[in-house]
Amino acid sequence: MQVPVKPKLKIATTSLAGCFGCHMSFLDIDERLFDLIELAEFDRSPFTDIKHCGPCDIGLIEGGLCNAENVHVLREFRANCKTLVAVGACAINGGLPAQRNHLSIATVLTEIYHTQHGLVGGFIPNDPELPLPLNQVHPIHEVVKIDYFIPGCPPSGEAIWKVLTDLIAGREPDLSHGLMQFD
């Protein structure tokens, strides 16, 4: 009798209002990526270029919410991922993009597209395909339930690896001193 092959876990990843630094840090697990693809395959992710997320075991979200599209993507992930993980400072507290939060969106857009040096004749982009900015940048736990968090800007490859391997092994993720960094 043939032993049934254990299906691989499915992992999806995305970057919302982030800088892709957390994804770069994920790649810092280096050759352990080979171990990972023995156990898991990637669904929607910048690594695969799949555009929509199907049913997944683990979703990794980098970045906070700065526009309407970010909210849609986050909800798609929450609807499809059994376990959703906030990766990095921006997903957890808004991070650098949230430093605009005490300014009005009009002030920010005017400053960037009109006021600054060398912008004579500039205009605020208004293509209907562009997602509308939110008035403030929000951490993702303010909109959907998040199961686990990996702090850091970015979290180290070690920290991401530790949480992933804990989750895959069915352990409660635990970051010890040195892996838990807010900076």
Partner 1 sequence: MFQNKDTYTFLLDGKTIPFTEEQTIIQAAMAAGEYIPHLCFNPEFKPHGSCKICTVSANGRQTASCTQQPQAGMVVESNTPQINGERLALLQMLFVEGNHFCPSCEKSGDCQLQATAYEMNMMSSHFDHFFPDRPVDASHPEYLLDFNRCILCSLCVRASSDVDGKDVFSLAGRGIKTRLIVNAESGRLADTNFSGDDKAAHVCPVGVIIKKRVGFAVPIGQRSFDEHPISFTPHPALKDN
Summarize as ranges the residues that interact with partner 1 (CB under 8 A): 86, 89, 92-96, 98-99, 101-102, 136, 138-139, 141-142, 146, 148-151, 153, 175, 177-178, 180-183
Q: What count of other Cβ atoms lies within 10 Å of the Cβ of residue 142?
A: 11
* Among the listed residues 181, 172, 163, 179, the one whose alpha carbon sits nearest the alpha carbon of residue 59: 163
CB of 62 to partner 1, least distance (A): 14
- 92 vs 160 by CB, closer to partner 1: 92
Q: What is the side-by-side order of every strand in the sheet holding 40-42?
A: 40-42, 9-15, 56-62, 81-87, 148-150
Smallest gap from Cβ 8 to partner 1, in A, equals: 27
Distance CA 38, CA 42 (A): 11
Nearer to partner 1, 89 or 167 (CB): 89
Rounded Cα–Cα distance for residues 156 and 182 (Å): 11
- Which residue lies nearer to partner 1 by CB, 53 or 159? 159
For the bound state, the minimum distance from the C-beta of residue 86 to partner 1, rounded and expressed in Å, comes to: 7
Q: Which is nearer to partner 1, 12 or 90 (CB)?
A: 90
